[in-house]
Amino acid sequence: MIRIKMEVKKKQKTCPHCNRTFPIDKFIGRSGKVLTRCQTCTNSQYCEHGKVGSHCYQCRGNLGVARVMIHNANSNDRRDNRLKGDLTQEAVLKLLDTITQCPQCNCDFDYINRNEPNGVTIQRIDNSKTHTIANCTLWCKKCNVTDGNVWQWRST
């Protein structure tokens, strides 16, 4: 009688990002889901601030803030059936460099935590028009989401 030595191989998977092969348990995330990438590659997408690097305002600086603001403005214009505005990164960066306080309540802008009450947002001067360079300025989130009847527009 011949004994055949059989080894039970652990299931393995190759990471499409780094092309290395690991046991399947290296593809299990914190929530228990099976990941596409290995744990090393998945965790490497987080920056030093614990956020996905492409979403971290601290890492991306004002350029990242400008991109997000333009994307949100264009999305809102599409949602409300307004024509696409002419906002550019350069125009929004110029606003971010020149306006450091909300013209309505004079609070200092928070560029990192934009969902905070003093987070910087782009505001249309005339809400019946689309987001254009001539029709936009910066306000804090608190003033931007407040009913328009509360504030009388005052130029800076």
What does pTM read for this prediction? Answer: 0.59
- Express each pLDDT in 19-35 by its tens digit: 888 888 888 877 888 88
Helices 57-79, 89-98: axis angle to 10 degrees equals 120
- The whole-angstrom separation of Cα 81 and Cα 65 is 24
3-state secondary structure of 61: helix
Q: What are the residues whose beta carbons fall under 8 Å from the beta carbon of 81, sequence distance 6 or more?
A: none
Supply the pLDDT for residue 55. Answer: 60
- The whole-angstrom separation of Cα 58 and Cα 153 is 31
Residue 33 DSSP class = P
**Residue 95 near residue 101, CB atoms below 8 Å:** no
**Residue 85 near residue 74, CB atoms below 8 Å:** yes
Mean pLDDT of 3-13: 61
Residue 21 DSSP class = E
Q: What are the residues whose beta carbons fall under 8 Å from the beta carbon of 68, sequence distance 6 or more?
A: 114
- Range with lowest mean pLDDT among 65-69, 132-136, 140-144: 65-69
3-state secondary structure of 2: coil
Supply the pLDDT for residue 27. Answer: 84
Q: Is the pLDDT of residue 117 over 80?
A: yes
For the chain, give the percent of residues with pLDDT over 70. 76
- Express each pLDDT in 54-99 by its tens digit: 566 667 677 778 888 999 899 999 999 999 889 998 999 999 889 9
Q: Is the pLDDT of residue 3 over 70?
A: no
Tell me which amino acid residue 27 is.
F
Give the residue with greater pLDDT, 142 vs 39: 142
Supply the pLDDT for residue 156. Answer: 46
User: Chain centroid to CA 68: how far?
Assistant: 6
